[in-house]
Amino acid sequence: MSALDNILVALADPTRRALLEHIGGGEARVTDLARPFPISLNSISKHLRVLEKAKLVRRRRVGREHLLSLNPVPLDEVAAWIKTHRIEWDSAFDRMEKALEKKS
Amino acid sequence: MTMTTAPGILIERTFKASPDEVWAMWTTREGLEKWWGPVGFTSTVKHLDVRVGGSFEIIMRATGSDQVAFLKSAGLPLESSAKGTYIAVVPVTRLSYKNIVDFIPGVKHYDVESSLELEPADGGTKMLFRSGMMHDTDWSQRAEMGWTQQIDKLVASLA
């Protein structure tokens, strides 16, 4: 899979998006991140690995602690992808607008 | 089942036309062929059955010289098709469909859900259009199994 695929897959899950929002607040410990979620630490770890694979999250080890932080750079790639789609639809709707004007 | 989409796009437009006329742009052969598809492509409706569970297929053929040149140089076909299945059809008010993206060589199919809502506004029609990747488990699994670097080609071809 390409980098963009990894990012889209990572973002295509509500739990992972919620995790990103929490991590966005600054460096966070895995155990603290897991606390608000009604799922096991093990599944949180799995979600975090998906986010790390997409390079959306960085992990730093301090002794036994694993500290996670947000890396916003890959989001730019997604933004570009979405922008492309937006431009496509916008130009199609421009054509629709013209077609509608001709009718009236 | 509630289907939210992410990531995706949201476009709001107001047309100087009645909701009936805008609806016809989406739901008739004549309407769709006037605007559907990327810049530099000509669209032909091959199949159209606007009802819940019904489907559509629109053939898009590159006709612009830049688009033709690009597709040729990338070794991609000049013709591709947009196929979808209607999820909701409420005449003149709401339309949503699942788009099966299966035209990217080497990439497993994946679904994009698009929806539009129409409402009368100031003698015209306000249209709210949403489109995005489905994030149900089915989609995620397929995406994890199937996506390859080919998607970059798609992005490039859209740029």
Contacts of A25 (CB under 8 A, 6+ apart): none
Nearest by CB to A85, from B13, B131, B147: name it: B131
pLDDT at B141 over 80: no
- Calculate mean pLDDT across residues A4-20: 83
Give CA–CA dist B37/B43, Å, rounded. 6
The predicted pLDDT at position B90 comes to 97
**3 state SS for A36-91:** CCCCCHHHHHHHHHHHHHCCCEEEEEECCEEEEEECCHHHHHHHHHHHHHHHHHHH
The predicted pLDDT at position B3 comes to 38
Q: Which of B86-95, B115-124, B136-145 has the lowest mean pLDDT?
A: B136-145
Nearest by CB to A17, from B6, B21, B144: name it: B6
Q: Which residue has the tokens 């071809």?
A: B157
DSSP-based three-state secondary structure for B3: coil
How far is C-alpha A102 from the geometric centre of its chain's CA atoms? 42
Q: What is the average pLDDT score of chain A?
A: 85
- Calculate mean pLDDT across residues A33-37: 88
The predicted pLDDT at position B154 comes to 37
- Calculate mean pLDDT across residues A78-93: 80
B157 touches A at CB < 8 Å: no
The predicted pLDDT at position B75 comes to 85
Q: How confident is the model at residue A2 (pLDDT cuts 50, 70, 90)?
A: low
- Predicted interface score ipTM higher than 0.85: no
B144 touches A at CB < 8 Å: yes
Residue of A nearest to B157 (CA): A84
Taking CB atoms and an 8 Å cutoff, what residues of chain A touch B111? none
The predicted pLDDT at position A82 comes to 72
Least Cα separation, residue A5 to chain B (angstroms): 6
The predicted pLDDT at position B110 comes to 57
Least Cα separation, residue B132 to chain A (angstroms): 9
Q: Do B144 and A88 touch (CB under 8 A)?
A: no
| Chain B (18-57) residues lying within 8 Å, Cβ to Cβ, of chain A | 21-22, 25, 31, 34-39
Q: Do A104 and B16 touch (CB under 8 A)?
A: yes
Least Cα separation, residue A46 to chain B (angstroms): 14
